[in-house]
Amino acid sequence: MKPYRDKDNQVRAVLFDVDGTLADTERDGHRLAFNAAFGEFDLDWEWNVELYGELLAITGGKERIRHYMEKYAAAELGRSGLDSWIAGLHKAKTRHYVALLERGETPLRPGVARLIRELRDAGIKIAIATTTTPENVSSLLKSTLGEDSPGWFDVIGAGDIVAGKKPDPDIYHWVLEQLGLPAKHCIAVEDSENGLRASLAAGLDTVITVNDYTRLQDFTGAAAILSDLGEPAQPFTVLGGTTHGSKWVNAELLMKLKT
């Protein structure tokens, strides 16, 4: 049998989701920033932890605000210039979120920094495929991996750059096109069912690392479902799939997880 390195489908790039995957940003990050923006706009809206979990079904901050209004604040939908009002509210939210990240209290999840460094050392490309706003990605990377870290990524696909947000596969198609690689040479890392639907629809094998908002979701089709990426001193827990005896995710395991 040929060693895995000779496989035609060897991993040449790893595509990372951001929120919930690189860091636990939703509950104590985005949610608080939305609420701060609502306060700034004199709205009495308050997204508590449970409600926010429900609202996460809608990806994209502007889309999430509109969905909330349709369901819980329909009277506000009659505002003139609704689209630009939502955009302004979301801009304030992004400002609050970036300020929160700059306080440096949002760490990367276990194994993320290690894996990113190992992939770079191995000459494997790394990319971002997210629905969140570009400023948020660069702030998170800078506050955790250092000022120059956004430049480590061969492609950063974020926000409104494509029309359809996850679970549509558009952002993954866009990133693959920018990388100049077919899906068979890439693998995605995601945390949510919406993310998995998007990556699978783009033809990508996908590793899931769950978090408190996503652990009960349907991850049918994932290559592996893990508690996190794991570290040598802090192995992951396997929740689904096989990890070939590995205890943390590295380039070698990602090669094996490719179909």
Closest separation in Å from C-beta 54 to Mg ion: 16
Q: Which of 35, 106, 131, 138 binds ligand XBP (CB under 6 A)?
A: 131
In the sheet with 125-129, reading across from the earlier edge strand, the strands are: 155-157, 125-129, 13-16, 186-190, 205-209, 224-226, 238-241
Cβ proximity to ligand XBP: between 136 and 206 the closer is 136
Closest to 230 measured CA to CA, from 259, 203, 250, 212 = 250
Stretch that binds ligand XBP, among 17-25, 145-153, 213-221, 246-254 (CB under 6 A): 17-25
Q: Give the integer Cα–Cα distance in Å for 41 and 52.
A: 19
| Window 81-120: contact mask with ligand XBP (x via CB under 6 A) | ------------x---------------------------
Tell me which of 6, 17, 168, 205 is the catalytic residue: 17
Cβ proximity to ligand XBP: between 183 and 255 the closer is 183
Q: Give the integer Cα–Cα distance in Å for 59 and 185.
A: 27
Closest to 192 measured CA to CA, from 225, 170, 163 = 225
Whether 160 is catalytic? no
Closest separation in Å from C-beta 22 to ligand XBP: 8
Cβ proximity to Mg ion: between 9 and 217 the closer is 217
Q: Which of 96, 109, 125, 166 binds ligand XBP (CB under 6 A)?
A: 166
Secondary structure E strands in 130-253: 155-157, 186-190, 205-209, 224-226, 238-241
| Residue 130 touches ligand XBP, criterion: CB under 6 A | yes
Contact 97, 19 (CB under 8 A): no
Residues 49-88 that bind ligand XBP (CB under 6 A): 59-61
| Residue 132 touches ligand XBP, criterion: CB under 6 A | yes
Region label for 121, one of left (φ > 0), alpha (ψ between -120 and 50) or beta (otherwise): alpha
DSSP structural state of residue 164? S
Whether 19 is catalytic? yes
| Residue 136 touches ligand XBP, criterion: CB under 6 A | yes
Q: Which residues are paired to 155 by β-bridges?
A: 127
Cβ proximity to Mg ion: between 20 and 230 the closer is 20
Q: Is 19 exposed, middle or buried (0-12, 13-18, 19+ CB in 10 A)?
A: buried
- Give the binding-site size for ligand XBP (rule: CB under 6 A): 17
Cα–Cα distances in Å, from 55 out to 106, 114, 228?
Answer: 21, 32, 23
Q: Which amino acid is at 52?
A: Y
| Residue 30 touches ligand XBP, criterion: CB under 6 A | yes
Stretch that binds Mg ion, among 9-17, 48-56, 80-88, 180-188 (CB under 5 A): 9-17
Q: Known catalytic residues? A: 17, 19
- Provide the binding-site residues for ligand XBP, judged by CB under 6 A: 17-20, 26, 30, 59-61, 93, 130-133, 136, 166, 195
